[in-house]
Amino acid sequence: MACSASACQSNCYKTQQEEEEDVKDNNNTNSFAANISSSNNNNSNSGLCLKCKANKPISSNSDGGDDARFCIDCFRGNLFGKFRFAVNSNAMIAPTDNVLVAFSGGPSSRVALQFVHEMHSKAQKNFDACRDRSLPVFGVGVAFVDESSVYSVPSNETDKVIGDVRLIVENLAPPSKELYIVPIESVYSSDSGDGRVRLKKLLDAVSDATGREDLLLHLRMLALQKVASQNGYNRLLLGSCVSRIACHVLSATVKGQGYSLPADVQYVDARWEIPVVLPLRDCLAKELTMLCRLDGLKTVELIRSPCTGINGLVSSFVTLLQEENPSRECTIMRTAGKLIPFHFNKIEEIDDSNVLLATRRRQKRYNLKSNESFSSESFCFICNSPLSRSDLLSLKNLESHKTSSVCCSSCQFQILPQDPSSVNELYTLLPEQLFARAKHDNLDHYSALREQIQDCLLSEGEDET
């Protein structure tokens, strides 16, 4: 039997009450952070950390940043508190889970890796201290997507980056974590010829700079999903932070992805074979970079070109907004957060006797109710966005299209060539996995959907007007 918190002194798992206190604590921390600017003036005079009121703040500059308000411990505690709250209240990681952390080498995913590692170490300590070791400790692995083939980087530079990534993962305290170096061209099956050449041809076939970047982003996710699935992971953890998501909100708006946007801004995204979780959704890029600096967390220079096109424009626009008012990114995120999420924006409820009752209860309480979410059964075969009715109606005749190759309007405009003959050529360059996934996702729902929109479809020979 599992040891219950009341009987075991090793604090293996917290009681329901303690969990609630934790959550309350954290809410206080969050609202505390939000209210700081108003109380800043009163407290700055004392020259002490606003939270503990005992230690000196990290720095004495007067730009109103976190380093001027918090001491190191409170700053770190506040950030970890946001992470832990996101993980716990969305049931992101259960004791039986196997979590793959996507590590790009940048500050956000470096902090994500560190926090998961700390959580893992603590769970392991509790496990070791507990006499009855019936409860498992979740597993952790790390994946790094090597995109050097896309950017034609000299091999010695790539080797250095990969060496640095290895060092970072090896230097985390034991137990050691499996590291997967995933070449981006691994999205192609090994028997489909030279993946590097095919990938290069594919990207060259997309003339729009924004489309190329977006396609690469989708391929990166495909590569991560593949490595997670092949190695027995059941969660993919990304380091996406507020700043990153705020940029996505604006660029998605510009690209006409309004319908699918709510799916991308939640803590959990289970439309994928391996559900994706975003525990740093409430942290700012600036905070995460600062933590890396303060704690000496080594990061790696990314092998990526700077964004161009819509993504680049939006990113510099958000940076400008943020300079003018440091809460802009959070405001964008909160606004988008009001959109109704989809049914897949939650972890399926666990029905496993291994999982503690407290975890299950917590899950029930914080998870979305079905009447508070949208359901969508068809997905874009390129980017996996849920498709709206109008996306489907825009296909003049549903049956003339292969059911596995229906795509959203954004992919249609940004990625697919305008000339129909080039479209077919591009299709031959796309990874087979995309078509397989779409077939699996869409096929069952297609006939039902066709029936649903029957009246709006044009029959053979019927004119559009």
| Residue matched to tokens 């499996």 | 178
Stretch touching Zn ion by CB under 5 A, among 91-99, 108-116, 331-339, 399-407:
399-407
| Residue matched to tokens 């070109």 | 305
The nearer residue to Zn ion, 137 or 382, going by C-beta atoms, is: 382
C-alpha–C-alpha distance, residues 36 and 326, integer Å = 12
Residue 140 interacts with Zn ion (CB under 5 A): yes or no: no
- Smallest distance from Zn ion to CB 55, Å: 5
Token duo for residue 214: 């977006």
Q: Which residues pair with 183 in a beta bridge?
A: 146
- Smallest distance from Zn ion to CB 312, Å: 20
The nearer residue to Zn ion, 115 or 381, going by C-beta atoms, is: 381
Is residue 148 within 8 Å of residue 303, measured between CB atoms? yes
Binding mask 345-384 for Zn ion (x = CB under 5 A): -----------------------------------x-xx-
Distances (CA, A) of 81 to 35, 122, 145, 190, 285: 17, 15, 28, 43, 16
- Smallest distance from Zn ion to CB 258, Å: 13
Pseudo-torsion of CA 283, 254, 205, 427, nearest 10°?
90
| Residue matched to tokens 């979590």 | 99
C-alpha–C-alpha distance, residues 404 and 427, integer Å = 11
Distances (CA, A) of 57 to 36, 45, 107, 209: 14, 12, 22, 44
The nearer residue to Zn ion, 137 or 202, going by C-beta atoms, is: 202
Pairing of strands 268-269, 276-277: antiparallel
Q: Which residue in 205, 330, 406, 411 binds Zn ion (CB under 5 A)?
A: 411
Token duo for residue 35: 């209210």
The nearer residue to Zn ion, 333 or 415, going by C-beta atoms, is: 415
- Smallest distance from Zn ion to CB 260, Å: 8
Query: What part of residues 46-105 is at the interface with Zn ion (CB under 5 A)?
Result: 49, 51-52, 55, 71, 74
Token duo for residue 385: 């966005």
Is residue 12 within 8 Å of residue 126, measured between CB atoms? yes
Residues with Cβ within 8 Å of 455's Cβ and at least 6 positions away in sequence, in order, are none
Stretch touching Zn ion by CB under 5 A, among 83-91, 160-168, 315-323, 407-415:
407-415
Number of chain residues interacting with Zn ion (CB under 5 A): 13
The nearer residue to Zn ion, 246 or 383, going by C-beta atoms, is: 383
Supply φ then ψ for residue 214, to 5 degrees: -65, -40
Query: What part of residues 311-350 is at the interface with Zn ion (CB under 5 A)?
Result: none
- Smallest distance from Zn ion to CB 390, Å: 14
The nearer residue to Zn ion, 52 or 173, going by C-beta atoms, is: 52
- Smallest distance from Zn ion to CB 71, Å: 3
Pairing of strands 98-102, 139-146: parallel
The nearer residue to Zn ion, 54 or 167, going by C-beta atoms, is: 54
The nearer residue to Zn ion, 51 or 286, going by C-beta atoms, is: 51
Q: What is the contact surface with Zn ion in residues (CB under 5 A)?
A: 49, 51-52, 55, 71, 74, 380, 382-383, 385, 407-408, 411
